[in-house]
């Protein structure tokens, strides 16, 4: 599996990428918001491929790790690489949860819960607006202009 550069975007890259976001994408990715249940574009996506960070393009989850959790958000039992998704303690809204953020850019993805299927027992419950999708055999996004292995199909 290719190893991806986890260095954060430069300030200039961050400004350029932020300018291309819709208000809803900005609210979820940058302000740690949540989209409404059962309305995300990737909830019922059945294509084979990789889900990438909407902000920086880092590959995060494979379609083979996606499952129907019945919660109304796309759910995955494991990331492509544990190093690509950082976990952060979230004490908002009077509860304690574990937030998933992109390890490269820090964008909010969703939350992880300990009630998923084997083999991990985890449910990474993500916002569709936090993700992009790249089908098998298609080049991955290279939003930061760093070249290979981004821009190449994920093995």
Active site residues: 125
Q: Spell out the long-range contacts of 96-100 with Cβ–Cβ below 8 A and sequence spacing 24 or more.
A: 99/32, 100/124, 100/126
DSSP string covering 82-112, please? GGGEEEEEE-GGGS-EEEEEETTT--EEEEE
Instruction: Report residue 75: phi and psi, to 5°.
Output: -130, 145
* Residues linked to residue 110 through DSSP beta bridges, in sequence order: 100, 126
Tokens of 119: 């083999």
């Amino acid at each position: 599996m290719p190893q991806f550069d986890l260095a954060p975007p430069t300030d200039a890259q961050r400004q350029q990428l932020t300018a291309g976001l819709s208000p809803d994408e900005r609210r979820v990715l940058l302000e740690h918001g949540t989209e409404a249940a059962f309305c995300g574009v990737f909830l019922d996506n059945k294509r084979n491929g990789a889900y990438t960070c909407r902000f920086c393009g880092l590959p995060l989850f494979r379609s083979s790790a996606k499952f129907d959790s019945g919660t109304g958000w796309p759910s995955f039992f494991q990331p492509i690489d544990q190093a690509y998704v950082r976990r952060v303690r979230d004490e908002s809204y009077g509860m304690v949860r574990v937030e998933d953020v992109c390890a490269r850019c820090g964008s909010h993805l969703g939350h992880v819960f300990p009630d998923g299927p084997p083999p991990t027992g985890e449910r990474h419950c993500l916002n569709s607006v936090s993700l992009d999708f790249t089908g098998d055999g298609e080049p991955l996004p290279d939003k930061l202009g760093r070249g290979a292995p981004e821009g190449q199909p994920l093995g």
